[in-house]
Structures are given as structure tokens and as C-alpha cells.
Structure 1
Amino acid sequence: MPNIDGLEFLEAVQQNFDEMPFILLTGAGNESVASKAISQGVSDYISKQQAQEQFPTLVNRITRAVEASELRQEVREKRKLYRTLVEQTDEGICITHDDEIVFVNSQFSSLTGHNQSTLAGAEITAVFGLTGASIERPTACSSVSRQVSEATVKLPDEAGNAQTYQISAKRLQIAGQSVVVWSFRGMTASNRRREQLQRERDLSQAVVDILARSSTHQSVEHSFCTEVIEHHGFQLAWVGEIQQDGQLGIQTSESADGTEAYLDCIEPLLADERQGTAPPSMWALRSDEPQFLDDLSQLPETSWQAAALEEGLRSVAAVPLINHGIAYGVFCVCTTEPATLDAEAKQLLEKLADALADAIADKKRAAALTSRQITEVSFRVGCDQFYLNDIVRGDAEDSYETIVVESVVQSADSVTEFLRVDGPDPERLTGQIAAHETVESVTVEDNCAATHLEVEVAGRTLGGMLQELGVRLEQIIVENDAAEATVQMPVERDQEAVLDRLGQQYDIESMTALTNKTVQPHTTSPQPLETADLTEKQRQALETALEAGYFDQPRGNSANEIAEMLGVSHSTLLQHLRTAQRKIFTKMADQTRH
């Protein structure tokens, strides 16, 4: 080449084709030329003296140079495509190696409010409280320092304000090194609603599962504590129950990290009812209102607060457990991070407390029906307090008619009461019952010596309320001046609380008996239940309802759905079921008495 050497030609080519592979074939075969050529970016170097003897080698080197150039071009194009996708995605992308941030896209910076330049080289744990190790042991947690593989979290922006994100993380091997790729997505209102609905569905299913596998109220309480520790990010959960002496006692607890020592410190303080010094559990119990304390370090110093801070606890929530007006205790949770009890967390805890109170009440009602140590109580209710008093009182003063409520079945919106009518003209009294404004239907039982009625009443009745309160109804005798109820309660039941709750709704005129009894267990084997007196339609309705889960909680099928299966009306199905239940309950009661 006249007036130009190989290196000068390389420089001219690179001005327009900087990625083109270039092999320098030169007669000046010395190390100085070779070094300069390589520094200018030649793909390979070979001397002319060797070339004539090494044509196969030259062809091989040309082939390798072209292949290497094509590979580099493919890598460049893929890298360009990757960066285009990463920069154009709506998601914030962050890559960490050993928890050090090595790359963030511009969307990550916009989404989190952190500048890209300040994030490069920073520890993700220091900035966001996240750690690469966390994706190997994922936990749903409501605090800033959390362990996630895929979750909805609150993290601080550059100004320190908490923002909500959906985060997923995946560990990858790149060039022999382990990195974690984090994907951040901002939470829109619709996303938040979907997340909330999903959490509510998960919570409902968890509650159903707990109730299905728990046989006592103690096991229910333990399962609820475990639920909030394992799935809702709290570090300590406990249930306090009101004891027979009216004081609050710690019934069960669960801890994620050994913070239960706090309970040892506060248990002696649970009798303290002073608003300024009592623990939050006592505030909730005495006010019947939830107590949410988001940062204990900001409160005036007290014994319980010092004990909590010493164990590393920063937030406390206490929600009273109340069912049908009766307080059973309090449900408490704690976290090791402040500012974790937002509106969402408060709503979750209140729903859990409602479900827990219902479950405790149900289990205690079941225990009341099987308890051997009982207290039998009789009391009189004023004549204007009960719908059946209206009917008996409306008769002539010289009549000697009495209505006896023998049993009650409570449903969501009505009460079915099974009555016996005594008097000279039971048909007239039956008509008066049917005509009462609160009565929806009356069915006269067949094959009974006395007049027995199945009465469906809208709203609340005395018998229905007694069942709600978890006491066993012996009978209610209704005469023209009052109704006298006889009930049985297990001795461990808070009888004063039950009677106080009744007194809020009904005017209890007098307590005529208060007797402790021991119910003797059966010494003979129970007789098989006879169902021969059920009609074919009653038996079919009962068997179908059982198979379809009508009596389960929650119901597997509604009454309307079962009626459709049988090809009958809704009211006809309910009549068959109630009559069958009445006959079976009567037979069971007869077997118990004999």
C-alpha cells in the first residue's frame, strides 16, 4: 500500500467500521509492531514470512476472527435489547450481588424516589431493609425489614415516607456469580383492592380451617395466635381470658423470636385498671374498644412499656373479644417495628378478633351442653318483655292457659321455638299465636298427646338469646303475668356476665333458684336412635341436607339449593327439616330421661 502502512490503514477503517474484525499481515515482524497493533484493536497478527508457509493457519485465524466478531455483535444486540426492555418496562428493576446494588433501571429510581447514582454500590439492606438471603425463606411480614420472595410490602422512599409495592425476587447465576433480581411494582388502587380481597379470602379460609380442626376454645385460641405469627408478620400474639374472679388472665400465646418474656413482666399488671399505667389489654377490655399503639417509644414511661421496649417490641394492638354483648377477653399482638399498624392491619385484627370471639363463644356453648358440673338458675321476666306474654295476657283473666317453651333453634334471621300449649282451648291459643305480628309460621305437630307447636318467629326472643349466650334451656313457662325461665350453665361459665347481659335486654324481676348440680354420666350404652316415625319426605329432606352440607359451618349448600334438588319449595323443605329435627330431638330427650 503506497504512502500508508497497515496500522495507519487499520486506523482509517476503524473510523467507519469500528466493529469489523482485522487481521494484520505485515512484513515488519517484530514485537514493537505486534504490541502496537494489538493495542489498536486488531483481531490477530501474523508476519508475511510465516504466511506463505502457514496458509491453513491464516484461514483458521480469519475464520475465528469472523466468528468472534459475529458473537460480539450478537452479545451487543442482546445487551441493547435487554437494556431497552429494562428501561421501557413499567417495573423497577434492581440487581444485587451479595446484597450490594450493582444495577437499577430508571423506572426503579422514579418508583422509589431514590437517585440512581446514590443507589449504585449501596447495600440494599441499609436502604430498604431487604436481603438476598430472605428469598430462600420467604415470610409475609408487615414491617420494613422483611423477608420476601413475592409479597406486598411497605418500604421507605428517599424522604423516609412509607410506600406500598408489590415485590418479587429471583436468584440467578450470571457469569458464575449469584445475583438477585428484584422487581418492584407500584400499587394502584385496583391492585390494592384485589390484594385486599385475596387477603380476605385467605383469612376466611384460614378461619374455617382453624374451626374445622379445633375441638376446644383453647385450641382455637392457640391456632389464631399461630396464624398471625406465621402468615401476618407479627412477632408476638396472645389471648387473655376473663377468669371467674373477673380478672384477665393470659390463656395462650405464640412468639416468633422469644419475645414471650414480655408476658412474664406484664401478667402481674393485668389487674391494674388505671388508664395511665395499665397495659393496652386492660384499656381495650375496660373500654370495649380496640387499642392500637404504633410506637411505644413515644409513650410516657410505664412498667409495661419498659418491659415491651426491653424485649424489642415497638407496636402493640389489643382488641376486645365480644360476642352478643358478652366480653370473653382480649386478643393482643406485637411487632418489633414501629408504624406497622396501618388501616389495613387494624381491619385485619378486628376481623380476626370477631372471628375468634365467635369461635370461643361457640366452643363454650358446646361445652355447656356437655358439662357435668352445672348451675341451675330460674328467673322471672316481666309480662311486657316476651311475645308469648302478649298472647296469654290477652286471654280472659279466669282462663288457666299456659305456654311452655321446650327448646329453641336459632338461625341467622329468625328463631324456631318448640312449644307445648296447656289449657282448655289449645286450638284458640294456637290461632292467637299464629296471628301475632312477630310470628311467621306455626306448625302443629302430629302424633302428640298434648298440643305441640313449631313456631318460627322473626327477630330475637328470650329463648333465642339464651341460646346465643351459651346456656342450656330447660324450659320457659309463660303465664299471664310473667315468664319463668329455667336454664343450666356450667359452673366455670361467667354466670354474672350472662345474667347482666340478659338484664340489658329483659327486665328480670326475681331470681327464684340458684342450685349447683352434678349431671351423672350415662351408665348404660345409648340406645340407637329411632327414626321410624319420620315420614319418607321428612327423612329424604334430612338426609339430603346432611349430605349437601346444610348443617356445616359455613354451609355447603343453602336451603334454596337443597329445595331445588328435591323439587320442592323453600318453605316446604324448611317445614320437613324442622319437623324431623323436632321428632329426633324429642326421641333423644326421651332416651336421656330413661
Structure 2
Amino acid sequence: MSGDEQLEVLLIEDNPGDARLIEEMLRDAGDLRRRVEGDAASAGGSRIHHETRLSDGLDRLNETGADVLLLDLGLPESTGLETLERVLDATEFVPIVVLTGLRDEGVGIEAVERGAQDYLVKDEVTSDLLVRSIHHAIERNRQERERARRLQQLEALNRLNRVSQDITHAVITTDTREDLERTVCERLVASDAYRFAWIGEVNRSTDEVTPRVSAGVEEGYLDEVTVTLDRESEPEGPGAKAVRTKSVQVVQNLQTDPEFEPWRERAIARDYGSAAAVPIVHEDLFYGILAVYAESPDAFSEPEVEVLGRLGDVIGHAITAVERRDALVSDAALEIEFAVRGAAQELVGLTSDGDAYIDVETVVRSDEGVVAYGRADGVAEGEFRDALERTDAADDFRFLSSDGDELGFELVTDAATSLVTAVATHGGQISSATIADGEFRFVVGFPRGRDKRQLVELVEEHCPGATPRAQRTVQRDDADVETATSVIEDRLTEKQRSAVETAVFAGFFDWPRTSTGEDVADRLGVSPATFTQHLRAAERKLFEALFRDESAEEESAPWTPLESDSGADSASDSGSASDSGSASDSGSASDSSSASDSD
């Protein structure tokens, strides 16, 4: 009821005299609406509708509704509390004031206990008493509706929270991304809050959302409906808008909302009343949308929409976790090479004549930023030092070795922290970087099967000067990856193995140490310097086998051109999460600590 509408009063009374008396009292009450709702209400007056039969009264309620119902319990076709029960069964949240005779006051009290807001004894009613009773009935009804609304919201939030817990559990128990997504849809529908749920991903080649999994009352709906991202082809629906805005989009009434026009007929045929489209996002990667359909209109309250948004984040995080887990056991990875413009120009200039190059072999994250280890060939030490001191790309550096024209170096930079962190967050790593022939290039490895276009956009966002140039698939055969045992047996000399074994079992690596280097050397019958030499050689061979897997290079496919537009299409490398993988965590700072504890 808006501010300028009249108060609609429905009177169901078969006695003409009683009906006329009630109507006169309401007319004498003046501005009934203001008296009922208080001074804040506009002067809208009241309108009385009188019906003599219960069936006619119920028909009017269904057609036009009412703000309050005055109900006589003694009607020709229904008497007593049966009359009230029939009204309660046929209506929802309509405030009812029961009219009784002198001898039926007990019935009036029981009527209130069963759902009426108030009762009046006809022979004792006055104009003020009638207005006060109507006011109380409307107010109590409003409070009941608010309590019911809050209870419904609480139940919905509890359901969604349980679904979130189930998804967290599903990360552990499901094997693939598809199984995880199917669990989400089935769990949402099983809660009885929704009739239908589906998850789809964006097909970049067609600019459409392609369904992956679904659950609930579908009956061919997804076969008949196309969610396109082309805003010129048809009205932008909630799914397309969720993709564009990366926020939850809701249609509270599918029968009236113009944005749902192309799909309205099909949705109504399946008893869908409202819908929500939830983006599935984690960090900077967009995985798709979750679409949820409820039977009733206005089913998605503001708190529920907020929880659905968090649910989309949970699903995105769960998909990332599944893909990272798969990456650890997969035998293949996608590598993309990027050229960088405008970065480290002082270092790039050293290689412009084609006689020198700078090769970064590994990149490690640390508390200070990013630490890069590499070698420079064909560059004089003084010239290289001067370039490093002038460039903004190096916050700190030191030379580790010098062998003729080749310099081993360690470089600390904060400029690449954002890129390295973003790549690692999505299961990837910076495999290498090279400055040669006046150009700076680096290679990023990701688990195969990811959306290549999104990966390229991720790198370009955190490294604005980067342009994709080439791609290849790296195969890692389990037989070619050496285990620690095989390294000890095949690469270590007898003296190196003795030094390592004695150090381990003598407690040299414990903290605090139970044996010093001198103690171990004495046990081996060698000098401390000799022990340190054998230990360092063994450690180097072990860690080289772990971090420099040269066999992967031998099994790699050749580089193929990859342009920033055409090469970013995910169609050629699309696949299930179970087929993707790269040892995504092998380059993390926590796994790349130095051997300082062995000194």
C-alpha cells in the first residue's frame, strides 16, 4: 500500500444490519488510514468492500487483495472456526479480525490462538474500538511477516553456509573440477531452496557461456537457452552481466523483468520465479558463472545475495586448489614466452651488438622481493656492474662467480614481485628470463588446460610491457625425473656419499647441531676443509637434480608463434583439470632455501 492509496477493508458478513453498522462506524472514523498508520501516513481515506458469502469474499481476496479482513464466523456456508481455517488456508499474511456474538467470546479467543490478529464482539464494538482493533491487526501482521522474512533469510543463509562447507570438503574428496562443480549444483538443489542450478564457462571463440554441469528441474532448458556476451544481439541477461561486472546479478521476478525477456517463456514453463547469476572468480582468474533458479519471486534477499557472492569466491578458490593438486602429479605444462618492452633498458643495451647475453636460470620469492640467479656471458664485469647500478630493475646485486667472460650473479628486485606472486598464485612459475640481441624475454609455465587467454591477460596486467610471442608444451616423463635415491647412487662419489650420510646421522643438520663440521671431519678422518668440499659437492648435485631438470627440455615440443590476440584463444588447449599440470610450487621461496644451515 503506497502513500496515496486508500486502506482496503474487506467485510464478510451475511447479516445486513451488522454489516451496515460496521460500515457506518468506519465512515464515522474519518481518515481511517491515518488513524491506523499514524500521522506519517498520507490522507488516502479508506474503501470498504462487503461480501455476504465466504466464497465470494475469498474470490475478491484472490483478485484484489485487502489490507485487513473483518470476518463473521457465522456464515450460511461455513460457521465457527471452520470459517477461519478456510480463510487461513486460502490466504497468506492477510490480517484478520474475527466478529463474534455475545455468546461466542471463547470462540474469538481460540480464533486468535489459531491465527486471527484480534476479535470483536459485535454488540460491544464502537468506532474507536474498531479502528484500534484494525490498527493492532495490521501492526501484528506486519511484525509476523517481518519475523517470517528474517527466519526465511536465516534458513537460506544456513543452507548456503552448509553448501560452502560441503564444497570445502569436496576439494579433498573429488578428483576433477567437473566433479567439484557437479557437487556444487547437486548440493544447492538438494537444499530445496532452488529448483535448478548450473555452472558454465565462457567460450572466447563464440562469446557465449557454455554449460558444463547442471542439477535440478531442467528438462531441456539449457538446450533452448543461449547466454551470449554480445550486447547488441539481444537484451543483456543476468549471466552476461555477471561475466561483464564480475558481481552477482539477480532477477527477482522472471515474469516481469525486461532483461529476462528472451528466456521468460521457457523459465515460466519450468516454474522458475527468480534467478541469480554468480561469477566464479579467484584472484584475477575468471572461471565462469553459477546460475541458480528459485521457484518463488523475490527469493534472493540481500544477505543471501551476499552469501552467494562469497560462495562464488569459495568455488573459484576450490577450482584453483583442484588444479594445483593436479599440477603436482601431471606430466605436462604449458609454457608461454613473452617479450618485454621498456624494462631494464640498461641491461638490454649491453646485448644490442649480439655478442653478449644475460640468462636468468631461476627466480625465487623472498621477504625482500624477488631474487634472480643467472649468468652473463660476453660482458665485462665493470660494464655489467655499472649497468646494474644504473637500472631500476635491480635493488641489490652481487657476483657469485667469474669464469672468463661468464659471470654468475644474484640480483634482488622488487619490480617483478607482483608478476611472480600472481603467476605463483595460479599454479605457475617464471621458468627463465633472457636478455639477448637487444631484447628482454621471459618464459612463464602454467598447468596445461588453463584458459590461455586469461593467463596472457594475467601476465599483461602485472607486466604492462609484456607481449606473448610463442608457446610450447613441456612433457615430464617420470622415468626422466631423478629421485634423491638415484642421484645418491649414480652421481655422488663414495667420499661425497660418506660425507652426507655421516653428517645426517651425526646430527650436523639438526638444530641446534649435535655435531659440528670438525666433529664429522674427525669421524671421517679428513680435514674440516675436505669434509666441507665433499659436502658442498654432494649438496650441489642433489639440488641441481631437483631444480634443474634438463630432461624436460629434451621432451619439450618446439616453440610455436603466439600472438596476443589469436594466440590467447583457449580452444586449442582446453581440457579437464585432471589433464593439466606443472610442478607449480617448486619455485616458491619456501622450497628454494639455501644450504646455509650446513656451514
Provide the TM-score with structure 2 as the length reference.
0.50
Q: Does residue 214 in structure 1 map to residue 174 in structure 2? A: yes
Alignment correspondent of 2:297: 338
Counterpart of 2:374, as a letter, is: R
**Which segment is superposed worse, 319-328 or 274-283?**
274-283
Distance of 1:228 and 1:469 partners within structure 2 = 27
Distance of 1:539 and 1:239 partners within structure 2 = 51
1:478-521 CA-to-partner distances (Å, cap 9, x unmatched) read 46955301234566433233223433443446544344x46263
Distance of 1:443 and 1:362 partners within structure 2 = 37
Task: Give the alignment partner of residue 254 of structure 1, picking from 211, 215, 229.
Answer: 215
Structure 1 residue 292, shift from structure 2 partner? 0.8
Distance of 1:229 and 1:434 partners within structure 2 = 62
Root-mean-square deviation (CA, aligned residues, Å) is: 5.6
Structure 1 residue 342, shift from structure 2 partner? 1.3
Distance of 1:186 and 1:509 partners within structure 2 = 51
Counterpart of 1:254, as a letter, is: A
276 and 450 in structure 1: CA distance in 2 versus 1, 3 angstrom threshold = same
Task: Give the alignment partner of residue 299 of structure 1, picking from 257, 281, 291.
Answer: 257
Alignment correspondent of 2:477: 521
Q: Does residue 358 in structure 1 map to residue 358 in structure 2? A: no
Alignment correspondent of 1:290: 248
Alignment correspondent of 2:268: 309
Counterpart of 1:406, as a letter, is: T
Query: Identity percentage over the alignment?
Result: 17
Instruction: Determine which structure has greater relative contact order: mean sequence separation of CA pairs < 8 Å that are 6+ residues apart, divided by chain length.
Output: 2
Alignment correspondent of 1:234: 194
Distance of 2:193 and 2:547 partners within structure 1 = 49
Q: Contact 2:362/2:432 (CA < 8 Å) preserved in 1?
A: yes
Distance of 1:361 and 1:241 partners within structure 2 = 15
242 and 470 in structure 1: CA distance in 2 versus 1, 3 angstrom threshold = farther
126 and 338 in structure 1: CA distance in 2 versus 1, 3 angstrom threshold = farther
1:48-76 CA-to-partner distances (Å, cap 9, x unmatched) read xxxxxxxxxxxxxxxxxxxxxxxxxxxxx
Instruction: Provide structure 2 residue ranges, at least 5 long, that are not aligned to the other structure.
Output: 1-81, 86-92, 99-107, 118-138, 489-499, 513-538, 553-599
Distance of 2:395 and 2:160 partners within structure 1 = 35
Alignment correspondent of 1:484: 441
Task: Give the alignment partner of residue 374 of structure 2, picking from 404, 407, 420.
Answer: 420
Alignment correspondent of 1:402: 358
Structure 1 counterpart SS, 2:205: coil
Alignment correspondent of 1:593: 551
Structure 1 residue 284, shift from structure 2 partner? 1.8
196 and 281 in structure 1: CA distance in 2 versus 1, 3 angstrom threshold = closer
Counterpart of 1:219, as a letter, is: D
Q: Contact 1:414/1:459 (CA < 8 Å) preserved in 2?
A: no
Alignment correspondent of 1:158: 141
Q: Contact 1:471/1:489 (CA < 8 Å) preserved in 2?
A: yes
Distance of 1:124 and 1:583 partners within structure 2 = 84
583 and 438 in structure 1: CA distance in 2 versus 1, 3 angstrom threshold = farther
Alignment correspondent of 1:499: 456
Q: How many residues in Structure 1 have an aligned counterpart in Structure 2?
A: 388
316 and 443 in structure 1: CA distance in 2 versus 1, 3 angstrom threshold = farther
Structure 1 residue 321, shift from structure 2 partner? 2.3
Structure 2 counterpart SS, 1:340: coil
Counterpart of 1:474, as a letter, is: S
Structure 1 residue 278, shift from structure 2 partner? 5.1
Q: Contact 1:403/1:421 (CA < 8 Å) preserved in 2?
A: yes
Structure 1 residue 207, shift from structure 2 partner? 4.3
Distance of 1:432 and 1:198 partners within structure 2 = 60
Structure 2 counterpart SS, 1:233: coil
Q: Contact 1:285/1:329 (CA < 8 Å) preserved in 2?
A: yes
201 and 336 in structure 1: CA distance in 2 versus 1, 3 angstrom threshold = closer
Distance of 1:126 and 1:440 partners within structure 2 = 77
In our comparison, the structure showing a higher alpha carbon Rg is: 1
Structure 1 counterpart SS, 2:184: helix
Q: Contact 2:342/2:465 (CA < 8 Å) preserved in 1?
A: no
Distance of 2:469 and 2:295 partners within structure 1 = 54
Distance of 1:250 and 1:429 partners within structure 2 = 55
Instruction: Provide structure 1 residue ranges, at least 5 long, that are not aligned to the other structure.
Output: 1-97, 102-111, 128-155, 168-184, 542-580
Structure 1 counterpart SS, 2:450: coil
Structure 1 residue 330, shift from structure 2 partner? 1.0
Structure 2 counterpart SS, 1:209: helix
Structure 2 counterpart SS, 1:333: strand
Structure 1 residue 114, shift from structure 2 partner? 5.5
1:134-184 CA-to-partner distances (Å, cap 9, x unmatched) read xxxxxxxxxxxxxxxxxxxxxx973598424599xxxxxxxxxxxxxxxxx
1:251-305 CA-to-partner distances (Å, cap 9, x unmatched) read 11222xx345433332x45576447545422232234332111111112373412
Provide the TM-score with structure 1 as the length reference.
0.50
